[in-house]
Structure 1
Amino acid sequence: MTSITGGAPAFDLDLWLTKYLGMIPQGIAGDAEIRSRLTTPFVDTTDEDVRKTRLSADEINSWLDYAGWNLWDFILGRASEGESGLIPRQEYETNSFVQQWNTYPTWIRQLTDELGVDGLLGLAQTARHEVGTKINVTRNWAASVCPILGRGIGITLDQDTADSRRDDLETLIQFGRRLQHGTWGGGSGLVSGRNFTLDVLAPEFLAQLVAQAQSLEDPEKLQAFRRFNAKTELFGFMLHYDCRAGMGDTGPYPLPDGRFAIVRDHFLNEDIYPWAGVAEGLPYAVTQVMIFPADKVKVTINDIMTTFSDPSNYLDYIESVAVFARDTRDTPMAELRVVTAEEMATYAQIAQKGTLSMYRDLAKKSTEQKIRDGIMVYTREFLFPHAMKAGLWDKWVAEGFDTLHPNTEAAWPTLASPKAAEILTPVLLFGGGFPPVSE
């Protein structure tokens, strides 16, 4: 039983920003390299191992080692992602990690007791036959990686040790793996292990969506779509406090005519937040099926459903699109409807007004209140979709789901201060977020 963090070369900042621990590159080559170093292939799932309730140290440490590289790879890609400037995202995200580590295991055990392992596996299949759902690949990743990152922060702050709360660590690892197995049916549960291709939708369902696509050759139609895409995307970001919980891409999906599709969800009317009134008049989610020429642009998608392309301006190459609305969270796929050009213009206008309203409200809030709001968003987002389906959400809220744990309160002053960078840089980038366990 060993961990790759124990054999890292001497620290060289430039090297460690181009290779994880100075050894392992980004992308597909990095996935192959990190896998070759693992003692057991526990980042992949099987029908048998997702049912285990106790894990060996080798299994845990292999999972932790891969998660450390996976997070590093993701963060380097995210470096180009903008922030609104009004929302203290790093502060609320890192406090959320601590909150999740200290509370998620309890909620996950309740959810597992309610549904059973087979019920979790079945629930995770939702991502294959629905759009406009938050039971998706982002939550598969975040429901385990984010709270376990909170473990790393807690260890750095001397709230825990690497060998304390072993049962909670196992609960979180297995919950994420069960969701991944339900979605993919085996093999790599992480998109980084699938060549950064998130082709999760069932082919027959995808074909029904693609069949509705209309050409954007008309410049006016193209401009109208680009305006709709930009305004609803920004609104979803702001409604979810400047994080990607408000959107998600899947694909690329190769099409019979040689082109490919990306399917994008924008979540616009999420009513579980106190400020959701700004979304009045919008459907719960809109889904864009965007079709591109495969000979002009190449696309990869990561574990938080974010698209990267070569060239980077991939939307300049879009050829056709279909836009759908899911009016409520539970609208059946049989009632998914095509959004007309007139509705797109209306929704874009409502989204723009809603974004401005969010900006005004945020400008009035204190930094502390914005951090608390952000913790609510980030802690709810990765479990509430599953709890809703299981009929547990209202019970959880009544039992104090949003109440800050004492360890979160204790970590807050440090994580919301200038000292945070000293703690977070090694945790997020240099393996410190995933300390190995011992026998």
Structure 2
Amino acid sequence: MSRPAVDIELANRARTELAHAIRDFLRERTAVDSPLFDVSAKMVYGNYASARSLPLLMDLVNAKATPEQVGERLKTVGVQLGLVMNGIGWVYTLGRIQQYLDAGWPEKNVTIADDERAAEVFTWWARIVQSSRNDGHLIPGYGGASPILTTLTEDTVRDLAAAASARGPITDPATLRRAVAELDMYEFVTHAEARDGIHHHGPYPLGDGRVMLVKEFTDLQGRYMPSVTDEHRLDVSRIVIALVLRDVDIRFDIFAVYAEPENYLDQAEAVQILAGDELEPITIEQLGTIAASSVHAQRKYFLTMAGWDDQTKVTHAASQYANDFHALMLLAGYTHDEIRDLFITPFEKNAEEFFDRATGPDRMRIFEHVIGDHEPISPDFQE
């Protein structure tokens, strides 16, 4: 399949909206810390590797599917998605800015001779996102987009809501709340203190003050995270929870979902729960059992991570970030062995030269630059 043409206007729009969404997201966060990791170092390490490797991902995916075909495939329930599209935009934007800062930008007018390739990546990213979202925009709340994230077709929304209503009222809300919290924490721990694998979307209007919010937990049997073994994996590969809510205001930013009232599970009138490769319906009690098993698995993995040496606590970010993006290769039709050989291993190799920069005294500069007031946040593409 031929490489898609570069659209400079679309690439600059994507680059600008991503940079401002990242700025706003970071400005609302306090300092990130962890008892296990030097979080800034591992993020910078992963960003460098991503900037180097994502053109390869684009080429591999383009070889089997157009951006529009990938976008359409993302419009399904339970796709092994996590943070993949916004995550790609996030790390590619930051990794590219890091390279320009290293070269002396913005104090000096410099180039790292990446414009053509980078514009191609941003164009590709934007075309996938526009095809996957129902509103044709890129990021919730930017570029004229409402702060929502809707991707499913009307028929899919109708069927999910009908299945939820057919179950009747939620009889065990405490188990539902606990299960969601346990799955959230499982994803956080087994993705090395990141929320990769969690995908929320909606709100889908159902009428009469009701909306549906879909919560997806994927990568529950991860293959590519360092040290993950069968004892850390759950019995199911993915879980989808579709909540029918009344009188709840829901909005999104680049990554997070916000609800008013905050305890929106208390407003749930009905729920549909699907699990496994075939997304078969399960009961709230079955969900509770699966989630309870995750507690032991996450504890085991936390102890594994605690035993890593200082270098691994940074360099694992290469495997972690590469893992985030393998979903696109699955959608394009690659096997797991092909994904590891063609993308995961090269991604990890591409990261190695950046260890000293990622752990050096200037590693915080990227965050200081992004949350500052400099405009543009990243270098413009020229016609």
- Residues 163 and 438 in structure 1, CA contact (< 8 A), matched pair in contact too: no
**How has the CA–CA distance of structure 1 residues 94 and 345 changed in structure 2, closer, same or farther, with 3 Å as cutoff?**
same
Match of 1:41 in 2: none
Q: 1-side partners of 2:197 and 2:343: how far apart?
A: 24
Cα displacement string for residues 152-199 of structure 1 (whole angstroms, at most 9, x for unaligned residues): 001112299445112221221111012113213773222224211112
* Identical counterparts, % of pairs: 17
Match of 2:125 in 1: 176
- Residues 74 and 132 in structure 2, CA contact (< 8 A), matched pair in contact too: yes
SS in 2 for 1:85: coil
Q: Which among 191, 199, 203 is matched to residue 154 of structure 2?
A: 203
Match of 2:363 in 1: 420
Q: Does residue 223 of structure 2 align to residue 271 of structure 1?
A: yes
SS in 1 for 2:299: helix
Tell me by how many angstroms 1:62 deviates: 4.0
Tell me by how many angstroms 1:313 deviates: 3.2
**How has the CA–CA distance of structure 1 residues 313 and 417 changed in structure 2, closer, same or farther, with 3 Å as cutoff?**
farther
- Residues 81 and 199 in structure 2, CA contact (< 8 A), matched pair in contact too: no
Match of 1:351 in 2: 294
- Residues 103 and 405 in structure 1, CA contact (< 8 A), matched pair in contact too: no
Write out aligned runs for 1:252-401 (5 A): 252-267=203-218, 268-273=220-225, 274-294=227-247, 297-304=248-255, 306-325=256-275, 327-328=276-277, 331=278, 336-382=279-325, 384-389=326-331, 390-391=333-334, 394-399=337-342, 401=344
Q: 2-side partners of 1:205 and 1:81: how far apart?
A: 40
Q: 1-side partners of 2:117 and 2:134: how far apart?
A: 25
**How has the CA–CA distance of structure 1 residues 206 and 404 changed in structure 2, closer, same or farther, with 3 Å as cutoff?**
closer
Match of 1:66 in 2: 17
Q: 1-side partners of 2:31 and 2:282: how far apart?
A: 28
Q: Which among 124, 129, 133 is matched to residue 79 of structure 2?
A: 133
Cα displacement string for residues 37-75 of structure 1 (whole angstroms, at most 9, x for unaligned residues): xxxxxxxxxxxxxx962344x654444332221211232
Count residues with an aligned counterpart.
369
TM-score, normalised by the number of residues in structure 2: 0.85
- Residues 215 and 241 in structure 2, CA contact (< 8 A), matched pair in contact too: yes
- Residues 249 and 301 in structure 1, CA contact (< 8 A), matched pair in contact too: no
Q: 2-side partners of 1:172 and 1:229: how far apart?
A: 35
Tell me by how many angstroms 1:396 deviates: 4.8
Q: Does residue 345 of structure 2 align to residue 402 of structure 1?
A: yes
Match of 1:148 in 2: 93
Match of 1:105 in 2: 55
- Residues 173 and 266 in structure 2, CA contact (< 8 A), matched pair in contact too: no
- Residues 292 and 319 in structure 1, CA contact (< 8 A), matched pair in contact too: yes
Tell me by how many angstroms 1:425 deviates: 1.4
Q: 2-side partners of 1:80 and 1:316: how far apart?
A: 28
Q: 2-side partners of 1:364 and 1:111: how far apart?
A: 36
**How has the CA–CA distance of structure 1 residues 203 and 427 changed in structure 2, closer, same or farther, with 3 Å as cutoff?**
same
**How has the CA–CA distance of structure 1 residues 404 and 281 changed in structure 2, closer, same or farther, with 3 Å as cutoff?**
closer
Match of 1:90 in 2: 40
Q: 1-side partners of 2:291 and 2:47: how far apart?
A: 33
Amino acid at match of 2:5: T
Q: 2-side partners of 1:422 and 1:184: how far apart?
A: 33
Q: Which among 48, 68, 71 is matched to residue 124 of structure 1?
A: 71
Tell me by how many angstroms 1:406 deviates: 7.9
Cα displacement string for residues 350-370 of structure 1 (whole angstroms, at most 9, x for unaligned residues): 111011111111111123212
Q: 1-side partners of 2:154 and 2:31: how far apart?
A: 31
Match of 1:212 in 2: 163
Q: 2-side partners of 1:177 and 1:144: how far apart?
A: 9
Q: 2-side partners of 1:381 and 1:407: how far apart?
A: 16
CA-based RMSD of the aligned residues comes to: 2.9
**How has the CA–CA distance of structure 1 residues 253 and 430 changed in structure 2, closer, same or farther, with 3 Å as cutoff?**
same
SS in 2 for 1:188: coil
Q: 1-side partners of 2:192 and 2:282: how far apart?
A: 26
Tell me by how many angstroms 1:324 deviates: 1.2
Q: Does residue 179 of structure 2 align to residue 222 of structure 1?
A: no
Tell me by how many angstroms 1:404 deviates: 5.8
Q: 1-side partners of 2:348 and 2:294: how far apart?
A: 35
Amino acid at match of 1:143: I
- Residues 14 and 126 in structure 2, CA contact (< 8 A), matched pair in contact too: no
Q: Does residue 131 of structure 2 align to residue 187 of structure 1?
A: no
- Residues 91 and 415 in structure 1, CA contact (< 8 A), matched pair in contact too: yes
Amino acid at match of 1:272: Y
